[in-house]
Amino acid sequence: MQKKIIGHQNIITQLQNAVTSERVAGAYLFSGEQGIGKETVALYFANLILCENTTDKVSPCGECRACRKIKNGNHPDLRIIRPDGAQIKIDQMRELQQQIVYQPLEGERKIFIIANTEKMNDSAANSLLKTLEEPPAASTIILLTENLKTMLPTIRSRCQILTFYPMPTDELSKALMDSLSIDTEAASAAAILSRGVIGKAITLIEKGITESGTVPAIMMETDLLAAFRLAEEFENEQESLDDLITWYRDLMLLQQDAPKEYITHTDAIEQLQTLVPRYSDNRLERAIKNIFQTKMLIQKTNVPKMLALEVMCLKLIQGR
């Protein structure tokens, strides 16, 4: 028996039903933010399809030749394609196009998982589209994406789309306690800070971030020149903008004397209290809006990330 997957039960049931009823589709698109479990579920699905021994069609046996090969990453009918550098390139999609036409070697299907499909350049996307237009019968392509909106509508329309949502934090917190045997406080802090995204929660636990909170430097900074250094720090950290919003939100709550249970960074409350007099509610509102807008700019436009972050930091320090 395999390890149980945490969360996403509706999606898992749907995939299990596809296998039981022998109605596995030719193309799937798993959409959801980084760390939410798309790849874990895709691998489970591939494993369930390829397992030679599953009796219930619900859990791969974990012991047969296919299961062992998948575990070791060398099953000939399962390939995982990842960006080559910053992009998924046309050569990678051409290779897929060539391989997919051959019959599976050991299993009933050839399965291709493409991670970070949003990083596919235009020519690669067009090449993939050709494959999706005429998919060989014994094949399944599973596309994983953090940004469904950037995908070609023609690609989207050829896939069965499954959307991964964050877990309710109390549910995630319980699951973390069970599977990692950590205490209630650490589990619930990680669940809240990760906003229900399991991969992020596990990273936070591994980094020990649940233990002590430190107010982000930008909130205390008054020197405009620091904006450029701080922008660089944000550039290196993927999640930090979401995280930053939670800090400003806490400050807003403290300013309004909200009950402590609503505060995310409870372990930094004293430090946050000292900042309250420096921030008017207008300034906090502007700050949160500013961070949101910067996030959108980076995700949805071609504005250089560093420039967007510098402008954001300047505004946050100036209180504009």
Q: Which residues of the shown chain bind Zn ion in the complex (CB under 5 A)? A: 51, 53, 60-61, 64, 67
Which residue, 12 or 202, has its beta carbon nearer to Zn ion? 12
**In the complex, minimum distance from the CB of residue 57 to Zn ion, in angstroms, rounded to a whole number:** 11
Which residue, 53 or 98, has its beta carbon nearer to Zn ion? 53
Which residue, 53 or 273, has its beta carbon nearer to Zn ion? 53
**Residue 133 has which token pair?**
């237009």
**In the complex, minimum distance from the CB of residue 39 to Zn ion, in angstroms, rounded to a whole number:** 19
Which residue, 65 or 283, has its beta carbon nearer to Zn ion? 65
Which residue, 12 or 215, has its beta carbon nearer to Zn ion? 12
- Report yes or no: 110 and 99 within 8 Å, Cβ to Cβ: yes
- Report yes or no: 52 and 165 within 8 Å, Cβ to Cβ: no
Which residue, 52 or 235, has its beta carbon nearer to Zn ion? 52
Which residue, 63 or 285, has its beta carbon nearer to Zn ion? 63
Which residue, 46 or 162, has its beta carbon nearer to Zn ion? 46
**In the complex, minimum distance from the CB of residue 146 to Zn ion, in angstroms, rounded to a whole number:** 30
Helix (H), strand (E) at residue 27: strand 27-31
DSSP string, the chain: -PPPPPS-HHHHHHHHHHHHTT---SEEEEE--TTSSHHHHHHHHHHHHH-S--SSSSS--S-SHHHHHHHTT--TTEEEE--BTTBB-HHHHHHHHHHHTSPPSSSSSEEEEES-GGGB-HHHHHHHHHHHHS--TTEEEEEEES-GGGS-HHHHTTSEEEE--PPPHHHHHHHHHHHH---HHHHHHHHHHTTT-HHHHHHHHHHTTTT-----HHHH---TTHHHHHHHHHHH-TTHHHHHHHHHHHHHHHHTT--GGG-S-GGGHHHHHHHGGG--HHHHHHHHHHHHHHHHHHHHS-S-HHHHHHHHHHHHHHT-
- Report yes or no: 34 and 142 within 8 Å, Cβ to Cβ: no
